[in-house]
Structure 1
Amino acid sequence: MDIAGLALKVGRNTKMMIKGCRQMEKFGKSQPVKRVEDVRFLTGEGRYVDDIAPTDALHAYFFRSPVAHGVITTLDVTDAVEAEGVHAVLTIEDLEAAGMDISMAATVLQNRDGTEGAKPLRPMLAKGRVRFVGEPVAVVIAETLNQARDAAELIAFDVDDLPTHMTLERGGETLHPEAPDNMAFDWGMGDEAATQKAFDAAAKTVSLNVGDNRIIVNAMEPRGCYAEWNDGKVHLANNGQGVWVHKGNLKRVFGLDDDHVQVTNPDTGGGFGMKAAAYPEYFSVAQAARALGRPVRWMSDRTEAMLSDNGGRDLTSLAEFAFDENNKITAYRVRTKCNLGAYNSQFGQPIQALLFSKVLMGVYDVQTTWLQVEGYYTNTVQTDAYRGAGRPEAIYVLERLMDRAARELGVDPWELRRINFIKPEQFPYTSATGEHYDVGEFNRLLTRVAVEADHDGFAARKAADAAKGLLRGQGLCYYIESILGDPAEGAKVEFNEDGTVFIYVGTQSNGQGHETVYAQFLSDQTGIPAELIHVIQGDSDLIKQGGGTGGSRSVTTQSTATLATVAKMTEAFTAFLSDEMGVPAAQISFDDERFRADGSNMTPTMLEVAEMARQKGRDDLLVHHERATLPGRSYPNGAHVSEVVIDPETGVVTVDRYTVVDDFGNLINPMLAEGQVHGGVVQGIGQAIQEHVVYDEDGQLLTASFMDYAIPRAADVPFVSFNSEPVPSTANLMGMKGCGEAGTVGALAAVSNAVQDALWERGVRQADMPFTPHKVWALLNDSAIAAE
Structure 2
Amino acid sequence: MDKFGKSQPVKRVEDVRFLTGQGRYVDDIAPEGALFGFVLRSSVAHGVITDLDVSEARAADGVALVLTADDLAQDGLTEGMSATVVDNRDGTKGAAPRRPILAESKVRFVGEPVAMIFAETLTAARDAAELIVLDIDDLPAKLDLAPGGAALHDEAADNRAFDWGMGDADACTAALDSAAHVVRMQVEDNRIIVNSMEPRGCFAEWDGTRLHLSVNGQGVWGTKGQLVRVFGLDEANVRVTNPDVGGGFGMKTMTYPEYFLCAHAAMKLGRPVRWMSERTEAMLSDNAGRDLVHDVALGFDENLKLTAYHVETRCNLGAYNSQFGQPIQTLLFSRVLTGPYDVQATWLHVEGYYTNTTQVDAYRGAGRPEAIYVLERAMDMAARELGVDGWDLRRRSFIPVDRFPYDTATGETYDVGDFNRVLDHAARTADLGGFAARRTASEAKGKLRGMGLCYYIESILGDPSEGAKVEFNEDGTVFIYVGTQSNGQGHETVYARFLSDQTGIPADRIFVIQGDSDLIEKGGGTGGSRSVTVQNNATLATVDAMVAAFTPYLAEKMEVAEGDVTFDDETFRAPGSNLTPTMIEAAEMARADGRDDLLVHQARATLPGRSFPNGAHVAEVEVDPETGVVTLDRYSVVDDFGNLINPMLAEGQVHGGVAQGVGQALTESVAYDADGQLLTATFMDYAMPRADDLPMIVFETEPVPSTANIMGMKGCGEAGTVGAMAATANAVFDALWARGVRRADMPFTPHRVWKMLNDAMETAA
Bucket of the pairwise TM-score, normalised by the shorter protein = over 0.9
Is 1:215 the counterpart of 2:214? The answer is: no
Give TM-score scaled by structure 1 length: 0.96
Unaligned 5+ segments in structure 1 are 1-24
Query: How many Å separate the matches in 1 of 2:8 and 2:544?
Result: 22
After TM superposition, the structure 1 = structure 2 runs for residues 234-633 of structure 1, keeping only pairs within 5 Å, are 234-633=211-610
Q: Residues 96 and 102 of structure 1 are in contact (CA less than 8 Å); yes or no, is this contact kept in structure 2?
A: no
Match of 1:148 in 2: 125
After TM superposition, the structure 1 = structure 2 runs for residues 618-657 of structure 1, keeping only pairs within 5 Å, are 618-657=595-634
Once the two structures are TM-superposed, the CA of residue 26 in structure 1 deviates from its matched residue by 14
Query: How many Å separate the matches in 2 of 1:36 and 1:497?
Result: 23
Query: CA offsets per residue over residues 145-196 of structure 1, 9 Å max, x none?
Result: 0110011011000011100100000000000000121000000000001001
Once the two structures are TM-superposed, the CA of residue 94 in structure 1 deviates from its matched residue by 1.1
Query: How many Å separate the matches in 2 of 1:410 and 1:443?
Result: 21
Q: Secondary structure at the match of 1:473?
A: strand
Letter paired with 2:183: V
Query: How many Å separate the matches in 1 of 2:582 and 2:169?
Result: 61
Among 101, 104, 107, the residue aligned to 1:124? 101
Letter paired with 2:495: Y
Query: CA offsets per residue over residues 13-56 of structure 1, 9 Å max, x none?
Result: xxxxxxxxxxxx99961011000000000001000000000011
Once the two structures are TM-superposed, the CA of residue 200 in structure 1 deviates from its matched residue by 1.2
Q: Residues 4 and 502 of structure 2 are in contact (CA less than 8 Å); yes or no, is this contact kept in structure 1?
A: no
Query: How many Å separate the matches in 2 of 1:411 and 1:474?
Result: 15
Query: How many Å separate the matches in 1 of 2:475 and 2:74?
Result: 51
Q: Residues 636 and 739 of structure 1 are in contact (CA less than 8 Å); yes or no, is this contact kept in structure 2?
A: yes
Match of 2:47 in 1: 70
Instruction: Return 193-202 or 478-487, whichever deviates more.
Output: 193-202
Q: Residues 319 and 356 of structure 2 are in contact (CA less than 8 Å); yes or no, is this contact kept in structure 1?
A: yes
Among 681, 684, 698, the residue aligned to 1:721? 698
Deviant stretches of 4+, over 4 Å: 25-28
Query: How many Å separate the matches in 1 of 2:77 and 2:506?
Result: 49
Match of 2:37 in 1: 60
Query: CA offsets per residue over residues 285-333 of structure 1, 9 Å max, x none?
Result: 1111111110000000000000000000000000111111110111100
Q: Residues 60 and 148 of structure 1 are in contact (CA less than 8 Å); yes or no, is this contact kept in structure 2?
A: yes
Letter paired with 2:717: G
Q: Residues 72 and 158 of structure 1 are in contact (CA less than 8 Å); yes or no, is this contact kept in structure 2?
A: yes
Instruction: Return 621-630 or 225-234, whichever deviates more.
Output: 225-234
Letter paired with 1:332: Y
Is 1:781 the counterpart of 2:758? The answer is: yes
> How many residue pairs are counted as aligned between the two chains?
764
Q: CA RMSD in A?
A: 1.0
Query: How many Å separate the matches in 2 of 1:482 and 1:178?
Result: 33
Match of 1:750 in 2: 727
Q: Secondary structure at the match of 2:638?
A: strand
Q: Secondary structure at the match of 2:158?
A: helix
Give the % identical residues. 72
Query: CA offsets per residue over residues 328-355 of structure 1, 9 Å max, x none?
Result: 1111000000000000000000000000
Among 174, 178, 184, the residue aligned to 2:161? 184
Q: Residues 464 and 534 of structure 2 are in contact (CA less than 8 Å); yes or no, is this contact kept in structure 1?
A: yes
Query: How many Å separate the matches in 1 of 2:405 and 2:112?
Result: 48
Once the two structures are TM-superposed, the CA of residue 101 in structure 1 deviates from its matched residue by 3.5
Once the two structures are TM-superposed, the CA of residue 257 in structure 1 deviates from its matched residue by 1.0
Query: How many Å separate the matches in 1 of 2:5 and 2:39?
Result: 51
Q: Secondary structure at the match of 1:89?
A: strand
Is 1:51 the counterpart of 2:41? The answer is: no
Query: How many Å separate the matches in 1 of 2:714 and 2:373?
Result: 21
Q: Secondary structure at the match of 2:388?
A: coil
Q: Residues 561 and 627 of structure 1 are in contact (CA less than 8 Å); yes or no, is this contact kept in structure 2?
A: yes
Query: How many Å separate the matches in 2 of 1:320 and 1:583?
Result: 70
Letter paired with 2:699: F
Q: Residues 101 and 252 of structure 1 are in contact (CA less than 8 Å); yes or no, is this contact kept in structure 2?
A: no
Is 1:79 the counterpart of 2:75? The answer is: no
Q: Residues 4 and 711 of structure 2 are in contact (CA less than 8 Å); yes or no, is this contact kept in structure 1?
A: no
Match of 1:695 in 2: 672
Query: How many Å separate the matches in 2 of 1:31 and 1:104?
Result: 44
Once the two structures are TM-superposed, the CA of residue 271 in structure 1 deviates from its matched residue by 0.1
Match of 1:7 in 2: none
Q: Secondary structure at the match of 1:601?
A: coil
Q: Residues 493 and 504 of structure 1 are in contact (CA less than 8 Å); yes or no, is this contact kept in structure 2?
A: yes
Q: Residues 88 and 163 of structure 2 are in contact (CA less than 8 Å); yes or no, is this contact kept in structure 1?
A: yes
Query: How many Å separate the matches in 2 of 1:330 and 1:607?
Result: 59
Letter paired with 2:291: D
Query: How many Å separate the matches in 2 of 1:291 and 1:95?
Result: 11
Q: Secondary structure at the match of 1:167?
A: coil
Once the two structures are TM-superposed, the CA of residue 585 in structure 1 deviates from its matched residue by 1.0
Query: CA offsets per residue over residues 666-691 of structure 1, 9 Å max, x none?
Result: 00000000000000000000000000
Q: Return closer, same or farther for 1:185/1:279 CA change in 2, 3 Å cut-off.
A: same
Once the two structures are TM-superposed, the CA of residue 102 in structure 1 deviates from its matched residue by 3.0
Letter paired with 1:304: E
Letter paired with 2:34: A
Instruction: Return 35-44 or 322-331, whichever deviates more.
Output: 322-331
Match of 1:36 in 2: 13
Once the two structures are TM-superposed, the CA of residue 230 in structure 1 deviates from its matched residue by 1.1
